Structure 1
Amino acid sequence: MGSVKRQLCAEPSLDVLLATPGALCKALRKRMVTLEQLSCLVLDEADTLLDPTFLELVEEVLAHAPLTCSPQDLADPWDVKTQLVVVGATFPGGLSRLLSKFSDIGHFVRLVSQSLHCLLPHIQQKFVRIKGRDKVSELLQLIKVRSPSSGALLVFCNKAPTVNWLSYILDNHKVKHLRLQGQMPAAMRAGIFSAFQKGEKDILVCTDLASRGLDTSRVELIVNYDFPDTLQDYLHRVGRVGRVGSQKSGSAISYVTHPWDVDLVRKIETAARRRTSLPGMKTSIDEPLPETDLTQTAKQQ
């Protein structure tokens, strides 16, 4: 927290604070910051923030903010209330139940993009049925034939050990790349993100950590070395190409190795052909989120 404290002391009158849930909670506990005069709180990538890893931290942050319960609360300049904005391509089940503990869910306004949960038509998608033992050679051949002028490449793996192992293979073949996975320290991850966005290396081997929040126009190709477990994960991964500012539309190549992957492929191909939303993306607001210490305490009371 030393670096955070130095930043806050150096810029005591900042108008915008960008923070992870963990760092913000630590700062709140140590009274390094206060949310009493906060006018707007944005929860970006809501599906990630409200998974079991961050849920309790997010609840703690919400409990510190004087959240508005109605539009009338925003009219009094002498009694500052916090307007809550929740952003995401997919929302987890139970979101309304969580928010209703801190605000009046009936006054939330929902804004929906017409292309929500739809695969963008300008992104070329290719599915390669392949045996697991052949994936490495297929990836190496793909990297070998890439043009030097090609944009950046993201290689997605489902687990951190696979990222480490594949990175070792690429090192043996003298392939310059970066690797990124959630078991790395936060400072290291931030440095890798920055290096990739600056173009220091054009290949990033990563977990789904890079499928959310990585906003760069450099990526022209993603490879699902491991096929994603869910349609939500596929949507987020493919969303890293063809972004605003990109010079090319982008492509996605997925290695399909397991029989259970085929069903997801059929659903993706059907949605792309019909230009419709991916199936099963709507979540019931009545479906509960994982319990935390705060929710258990509320039940006991």
Structure 2
Amino acid sequence: MTLRMSKIGRNIVRYTLDSVSPFSTTIPKVKNKKGELVISCKRNEFNHYSLVHYGNLDEVPLASKGWNHSKAKGDFFTVLPSQNQPEENMYSFNDMGIHKNIIDVMKKEGIDKATEFQYRAVEGVRSGDHVMLAAETGCGKTLSYLLPIIHDLLENKATAPNTPKAVIIVPNRELAYQVGEVARNLSDSVGLVSKIVIGGRTKSLMMNPVFEDIDILVATPGSLGKLSTVGIYKLNEAKYTVLDEADTLMDDSFVERISSLIRRLSQSQMILVTATLPRTFPEILVPYENSLRHVVSSKIHKPLLNITQKFLRLTLSSRAANLLQMAKKNKDPMIVFSNRNQTCNWAALFLNENGVSCANINGDMHQALRIEQWNKFVSGQAQILSATDVGSRGLNTIQVKHVINYDFPLYAADYLHRIGRVGRLGSHSSCKVTNFIVGQEEIKLVQQIELAIRRNQPLENVDGNITKIVQRKIARKMSQSI
């Protein structure tokens, strides 16, 4: 069935919002006795500078404080990328004892040194302890665990078919392909074998299993659970278990499948890789909690300060006009995030019918179509990707220069993941995020973000278990209505 836009949807492009400056306006860096300009506001009295500090008991002026008022429509503020961030220590892969062939592969990808976090993470994995690698999105966490694992497996190769020595579990198929490709490139260079297992072909694999030597298995929970239950993949010799995007995998929506797999992998070293520190652990991981060695980035839970972030207070009806205006001017890869599958579909349809090529991925789509749309965006056939939070977790999007939150997220963890699609290791130097702010719940989160930046502190109450947050809210509302 061909979808058609309503007359209102087709005509919405006629409207403009004159009270909001276009994002393309360049804001010069300003230095004075207050330091470097950090937050530039429409109302200059709310500008914030790097040398202005607040005590814990001081009241902090917020540009977004009055945004619940109707007169605030059209207000905005911009968080500017810092030009005075301390230079990070870099480490030679040769000094870290990485195999020459692996170093050669990374050099071809433009990676010639390890960051401070990667260096500490490699040491953490090599210690043999259960370890949590927690750092901001886009800092190269995948290499942090793959390098020491592959180095060790050179002396501990698989000895039986379909019996991997390392199992990497990821929450979705797109991330499985991404991690699997990195693992394959590195492992091929030293004679190891990596394989990707995802849903969609599980029944076929059960009926016609392939038995082969596998050193590293990258899989989604559902497919691995089914195939290991029937004995096609044996997990009893796995030396390493990696939960990549652990904050997502520990969400209540995954916990049953993950618990079953962890029981089968109890003999292995547990490696939790996450962009947000978990506030609670599922029951199956509680025995690991006290013995976990933590390798945590100093930037964890902080809104990235190497990108431009603009917050626009809009009316609900003006969002589409602003989206189209920015999309028409856009010449670089861009992601537009929505909170709901229906809005994600509408945004793609709206842009395509107005002459802007846009791909689309969300959780309601058939997997084959989702992969097709993702490849369309990655290959450059479409400059814009409309996505729900399916596209915000873990995917390496170094080509993306602009993220638009058409729907502003309601949870801090989602905001950190979304803005992590830009400003990544290897990304363009001038990346930006534009946020459309409409509702009261959105304003609450904006105020938390603005406060954290003005205080130069991490965001508070970051919780990656979104399902549990939603369940608590529903329970609270039900108890209040009784």
Paired residue for 2:317? 133
Confirm or deny that 1:221 pairs with 2:402.
yes
- Say whether residues 1:40 and 2:226 are aligned partners: no
Structure 2 equivalent of residue 169 of structure 1: 350
Distance apart, 1:189 and its partner CA: 2.3
Counterpart of 1:263? 444
TM-score by length of 2: 0.52
Report the counterpart of residue 123 of structure 1 in structure 2.
307
Please, which moves more after superposition, 170-179 or 36-45?
170-179
Question: What is the CA–CA distance in structure 1 between the aligned matches of 2:208 and 2:346, rounded to whole Å?
Answer: 37
Shift of 1:110: 1.2
Please tell me whether Structure 1 or Structure 2 has the larger radius of gyration of its CA atoms: 2
1:176 touches 1:203 (CA, 8 Å); kept in 2? yes
Instruction: Give the conservation status (yes or no) of the 8 Å contact 2:262–2:284.
Output: no
Gap change, CA 1:176 and 1:3, over 3 Å in 2: farther
Where does residue 281 of structure 1 map in the other structure?
Answer: 462
Aligned ranges for residues 1-301 of structure 1 at < 5 Å? 1-2=202-203, 4=205, 9=210, 12-65=212-265, 67=266, 81-95=267-281, 97-100=283-286, 103-146=287-330, 148=331, 150=332, 152-281=333-462
Q: Distance in 1 between matches of 2:280 and 2:459?
A: 20
The 3 A distance-change label for structure 1 pair 283 and 141 is closer
Amino acid in the other structure paired with 1:130 = L
Aligned residue type for 2:210? C
Structure 1 unmatched ranges of 5 or more: 68-80, 291-301
Partners in 2 of 1:189 and 1:273 — Cα distance? Answer: 39
Q: Aligned partners of 1:282 and 1:56: how far apart in 2? A: 19
Distance in 2 of aligned mates of 1:169 and 1:282: 33
Cα distance in 2 for residues equivalent to 1:161 and 1:41: 36
Identity %, equivalent residues: 34
Q: In the superposition, relative to structure 1, how do residues 104 and 223 fare at CA in structure 2: closer, same or farther (>3 Å)?
A: closer
Name the CA distance, whole Å, in 1 between partners of 2:350 and 2:401: 23
Residues 270 and 6 of structure 1, relative CA distance in 2, 3 Å threshold: farther
**Alpha-carbon deviation of 1:87?**
1.1
Q: Could you list the per-position Cα deviations for residues 128-185 of structure 1 after superposition, in whole angstroms to 9, with x for gaps in the alignment?
A: 1111111111100111122x3x3x1000000001111222212221211101100112
Q: Does the 8 Å contact 1:127/1:253 carry over to 2?
A: yes
Change (3 A) 1:87 1:260: same
1:20-72 deviations in Å (ceiling 9; x for gaps) = 1011111112211010110101011112112232111101111111x2xxxxx
CA RMSD of the aligned region, Å? Answer: 2.4
CA 6–183 in structure 1, closer or farther in 2 if over 3 Å, else same: same
**Bigger shift: residues 230-239 or 273-282:** 273-282
Higher relative contact order, chain-length normalized (CA < 8 Å, sep 6+) = 1
Equivalent residue, structure 2, for 1:75: none
Distance (Å, rounded) in 2 between the aligned partners of 1:231 and 1:263: 10
Q: CA deviation at 1:280?
A: 1.5
For normalisation by structure 1, the TM-score amounts to 0.82
Provide, for residues 198-235 of structure 1, a one-character-per-residue CA deviation record: whole Å limited to 9, x for no partner. Answer: 32322000101111021121111100000101111111
Which residue type is aligned with residue 400 of structure 2?
V
Q: CA deviation at 1:283?
A: 8.7
Q: CA deviation at 1:8?
A: 6.5
Amino acid at match of 1:123: I
Displacement over 6 Å in runs of 4+ = none
CA 1:145–1:157 in structure 2 vs 1: closer, same or farther (change >3 Å)?
same
C-alpha distance after superposition, 1:81-137 (max 9, x if no partner): 31111111124443164313xx44332211111111112211111011111111111
Q: Structure 1 residues 7, 263: closer, same or farther in 2, change over 3 A?
A: farther
Alignment: residue pair count: 267
CA apart distance, 1:268: 0.9
Distance 1:193 1:167 in 2: 13
Which residue does the alignment assign to 1:73? Answer: none
3-state secondary structure, aligned to 2:274: coil
